Amino acid sequence: MNLEHVLVSRDADFVTITMNRPQRRNALSLDHLRELIGAFGAAGDGDASGIILAGAGPVFSAGHDFADVAEADQDGVNLILDTCRQLMELIESVPQPVVARVHGLATAAGCQLVATCDLAVAADTAGFAAPGGKGGWFCHTPMVAIARNIGRKRAAEMAYTGDTITAAQALDWGLVNRVVPAAELDDAVADLLGRATRGSRASKALGKRTLYQQLSLPEADAYRLATKVMAESSQSAAAREGMAAFLGKRPPKWTD
């Protein structure tokens, strides 16, 4: 891929996708969103076992690029927001676990990215906000993902006040999984992703897909779906190998 706003690198089994518009605080222009979609699509189709989303420069992401939005009519803004939705849905649909590496401020759609990733590790210097509530353009779409992470009352506080919460608050509220000193961020990301990618890749991909499907359903429907998928997958090669290894008291040998 010929990318202007995104860097893609590979280290062993992990792909790192880095937002690379530091001069614009990694704001999500339409072109930037499209490049992120391309990068995640390629990583999702590849043989990597995990994906890291990072940001270059002092800020993780400042959200939508107002230089784009201010010049657009309603149809143009709808295109930007719909492209952003496609990115969020893609992050949830790629088969690999995705970890957000949050080293600095993540606001609006940047915070939406953190909330959308499967996992998130933040430096203790990071901050998180949905600042539209204290301005003139409310953070309607970012709050879709943020609210599903932190619950109604805390979502309302973030959305209405627009205040920035600390990394420690984000951990307490369920927006991130870990908070570590900035110097330990890369090691913490690698450790969490390493543990999240153990086992069969095919089983993990099915697990991720089913997790998000059942979370959107009422409890009874969620159980019906999970029961069906779990019974069907019990006959898979990965499940059979996992059970045989457990019963045989030996390490499993994954073929995927």
Q: What is the pLDDT along the chain (256 residues), one digit of tens a residue?
A: 689 999 999 999 999 999 999 999 999 999 999 999 999 999 999 999 999 999 999 999 999 999 999 999 999 999 999 999 999 999 999 999 999 999 999 999 999 999 999 999 999 999 999 999 999 999 999 999 999 999 999 999 999 999 999 999 999 999 999 999 999 999 999 999 999 999 999 999 999 999 999 999 999 999 999 999 999 999 999 999 999 999 999 999 999 8
Give 38-101 as a DSSP string: HHHHHHHHSS-SEEEEEE-SS-SB--B-HHHHTT--HHHHHHHHHHHHHHHHHHHHSSS-EEEE
Query: Angle CA(70)–CA(72)–CA(75) in degrees, nearest 5?
Result: 140
Asked whether the beta carbons of 61 and 131 are under 8 A apart, the reply is no
Q: What is the dihedral of CA 69, 70, 76, 80, to 10 degrees?
A: 0
Asked whether the beta carbons of 124 and 116 are under 8 A apart, the reply is no
Asked whether the beta carbons of 195 and 177 are under 8 A apart, the reply is no
Alpha-carbon distances of 140 from 88, 112, 168, 251, rounded to whole Å: 14, 10, 24, 48
Asked whether the beta carbons of 53 and 46 are under 8 A apart, the reply is no
Per-residue model confidence (pLDDT) at position 2: 82
Asked whether the beta carbons of 214 and 222 are under 8 A apart, the reply is yes
| Paired residues of 64 in beta bridges | 28
Per-residue model confidence (pLDDT) at position 256: 87
Closest alpha carbon to 172 in 196, 151, 187, 144: 151
Asked whether the beta carbons of 145 and 115 are under 8 A apart, the reply is yes
Asked whether the beta carbons of 30 and 83 are under 8 A apart, the reply is yes
Per-residue model confidence (pLDDT) at position 217: 96
Closest alpha carbon to 52 in 85, 19, 3: 19
Asked whether the beta carbons of 94 and 88 are under 8 A apart, the reply is no
